[in-house]
Amino acid sequence: MPSPAPKTALVWLRRDLRLADNPALTHALARCERVVPVYIHAPDEEAPWQAGGAARWWQHHSLTALAADLAAAGSALVVARGESLPTLRRLIQATGAGECHWNRLYEPAGIQRDTAVKQALRADGVHCESHNAAMLFEPWTLKTGAGAPYRVFSPYWRRCVPQLAEVPAPCPPPAHLPPLPSGLDNLPIEDLGLLPRIRWDQGLAGTWQPGTAGAEARLHAFLDTAVRDYTDGRERPAEAGTSGLSPHLHWGELGPRQVLAAVREACGDVTADGAGHFVRELGWREFSMQMLFHFPHTPLQPLDPKFAGFPWRADDGTLLRAWQCGRTGIPIVDAGMRQLWHSGWMHNRVRMVVASFLTKNLRLPWQQGAHWFWDTLVDADLASNTQGWQWAAGSGADAAPYFRIFNPVRQGERFDADGAYVRRWCPELAALPNKLIHQPWGAKPAELAALGIRLGRDYPAPVVDLQTSREEALAAFEQIKQQD
């Protein structure tokens, strides 16, 4: 008499590309004899926020690394392309799976898709469960005393801090996984077309190592060196003072529980000194995700409705292109935009400076900046991108007051005092002395000539006057204040 088929579960992987502390995988292994790890490429289901060019590059290499990790554990990654629900149904029929597990996503399109898939598969008689792999505190678990979602970060984080001790410990990766059933169709990752056809990605490849091994190496290097000086070190863009974990967290190569546990092991108290400031950044990520969950319109519309009528500057594309290409004539801004294009990442202090410059000095819509970041950041995350840009524009939750306009010269002089960051990314200015590196237009023509620098030819003249554009931005804000 033939033996019964092993009880099988599909594990539907999306942005949880790891084996350790993967609740969907852990629960499936606890309930079933065999698991089938599946990745389905269905970018249209994420519209209008399909992954941009830099993120697709990361996704390709992250999937490749995950496939290797699964092979080392005795399994494999089943890769498919097409609509998620019919693909899952086909795989369920091919494998005889009676269960399907996945980890939750929190973007509007993902929630809508996952809800429909769960309802349909349950109607088919399939046991479906979703799990939390991406957050310390899920969006619906923390509310104000009035029962509303938090819209200001500080009280939100004060509520979180006492509960950090209760966050579950991360689960280790399985030492071994059962082999897949034979005969399953499997699409090569290369056939997904995630890599650019014109290979502009050399800078990304030289900067990053996607995958769990790269994530763990970066985490431990940070905890061994920079975390204790994080409070001050994170502000200096020329130094390796930040963790660089954001793309690894976005793609789920590393989970927040793993990061919290590693910080606790390395530093003891996760709320004090540099460790406390770093864990607070995890809190900002959580805050951004709960904001997107509760206010799903905010990737395209301001949270503060009066900003819908803000008088943005008319632009034929000239100013936007200058900003995108790092050719604004403002050194700290141009350095940041060039770092972004080369590496797919930008230092957070500089992100605030370039966002302020776009929305207030150039007075161009924050949505244009958000779309550019979406296409060029390897860590492009809808929640964090939305929250960051609305904060900079003054239109979002916990936003900087609109009249807070970063002076890029002062920001450069304060956080890049010796000009090392600007000199790296704007080498045509390298010969300038420190007193002029952040405002070359302040030099006398003879000084620039002696250094072989001609503004407008070797390096652009500023596209706007900083003081005049500041005054125009404040005047524009006064117009919408009248709507109150």
Instruction: Report the C-alpha gap between 250 and 381 in whole angstroms.
Output: 6
Beta partners for residue 9, in sequence order: 35, 99
In this structure, the answer to whether residues 334 and 464 fall within a common structural domain is: yes
What number of helices (H) and strands (E) belong to the chain? 20, 5
406 assigned to some structural domain? yes
pLDDT recorded at residue 1: 40
Does the annotation count 157 as an active-site position? no
Q: State which of 294, 320, 350 marks the end of a domain.
A: 294
* Long-range CB contacts (within 8 A, 24+) of 150-154: 150/287, 150/290, 151/291, 151/303, 151/397, 151/398, 152/397, 152/398, 153/283, 153/284, 153/287, 153/397, 153/398, 154/398
In this structure, the answer to whether residues 369 and 431 fall within a common structural domain is: yes
Does the annotation count 425 as an active-site position? no
Contact present, 256 and 138 (Cβ < 8 Å) = no
The structure tokens 């863009």 sit at: 237
pLDDT digits (tens, 9 = 90+) for 297-323: 999 999 999 899 999 999 999 999 999
Contact present, 174 and 73 (Cβ < 8 Å) = yes
Is residue 100 helix, strand or coil? strand
CATH number of the domain bearing residue 390:
1.10.579.10
Q: pTM of the predicted model, to two decimals? A: 0.96
Instruction: Report the C-alpha gap between 306 and 288 in whole angstroms.
Output: 21
Q: Report, as ranges of residue numbers, the positions in the chain whose pLDDT lies below 50.
A: 1-2
Residue 369 carries which side chain, given as an amino acid letter? G
- Per annotation, catalytic residue among 284, 341, 345, 425: 284
What is the 3-class SS of 308-336, one letter each residue? HHCCCCCCCCHHHHHHHHCCCCCHHHHHH
- Per annotation, catalytic residue among 83, 235, 239, 281: 281
DSSP annotation of 415 reads H
CATH number of the domain bearing residue 253:
1.25.40.80
The structure tokens 């803000």 sit at: 310
In this structure, the answer to whether residues 280 and 408 fall within a common structural domain is: no
Is residue 243 helix, strand or coil? coil
In this structure, the answer to whether residues 48 and 85 fall within a common structural domain is: yes
In this structure, the answer to whether residues 125 and 157 fall within a common structural domain is: no
The structure tokens 């991406």 sit at: 134
The tokens of 305 are what?
A: 């409705």
User: End-to-end distance of the chain based on CA atoms, in angstroms?
Assistant: 79
- Per annotation, catalytic residue among 239, 312, 441, 447: 312
322 assigned to some structural domain? yes
Q: Which domain holds residue 34?
A: 8-133
In this structure, the answer to whether residues 240 and 127 fall within a common structural domain is: no
pLDDT recorded at residue 280: 96
Q: State which of 133, 156, 181 marks the end of a domain.
A: 133
In this structure, the answer to whether residues 68 and 143 fall within a common structural domain is: no
Average pLDDT value for the chain: 95
In this structure, the answer to whether residues 148 and 62 fall within a common structural domain is: no
- Per annotation, catalytic residue among 58, 102, 208, 366: 366
Instruction: Report the C-alpha gap between 396 and 46 in whole angstroms.
Output: 23
Write the burial class of residue 83 (CB in 10 Å: 0-12 exposed, 13-18 middle, 19+ buried): middle
205 assigned to some structural domain? no
In this structure, the answer to whether residues 317 and 456 fall within a common structural domain is: yes
Instruction: Report the C-alpha gap between 200 and 217 in whole angstroms.
Output: 25
289 assigned to some structural domain? yes
CATH number of the domain bearing residue 69:
3.40.50.620
- Per annotation, catalytic residue among 12, 341, 389, 391: 389
In this structure, the answer to whether residues 160 and 223 fall within a common structural domain is: yes
Beta partners for residue 12, in sequence order: 38, 102
In this structure, the answer to whether residues 273 and 342 fall within a common structural domain is: no
In this structure, the answer to whether residues 96 and 138 fall within a common structural domain is: no
Q: State which of 108, 133, 158 marks the end of a domain.
A: 133
pLDDT recorded at residue 397: 79
pLDDT recorded at residue 279: 97
* Residue 198: partners with Cβ closer than 8 Å, 6 or more residues away: none
461 assigned to some structural domain? yes
- Per annotation, catalytic residue among 46, 83, 157, 348: 348
Does the annotation count 49 as an active-site position? no
The tokens of 221 are what?
A: 């290097």
Apex CA 333: angle with CA 330 and CA 338, to 5°? 115
Does the annotation count 372 as an active-site position? no
Apex CA 103: angle with CA 280 and CA 66, to 5°? 90
* Count of other CB atoms within 10 angstroms of residue 217: 13
Count of the separate structural domains present in the chain: 3
Contact present, 228 and 271 (Cβ < 8 Å) = no
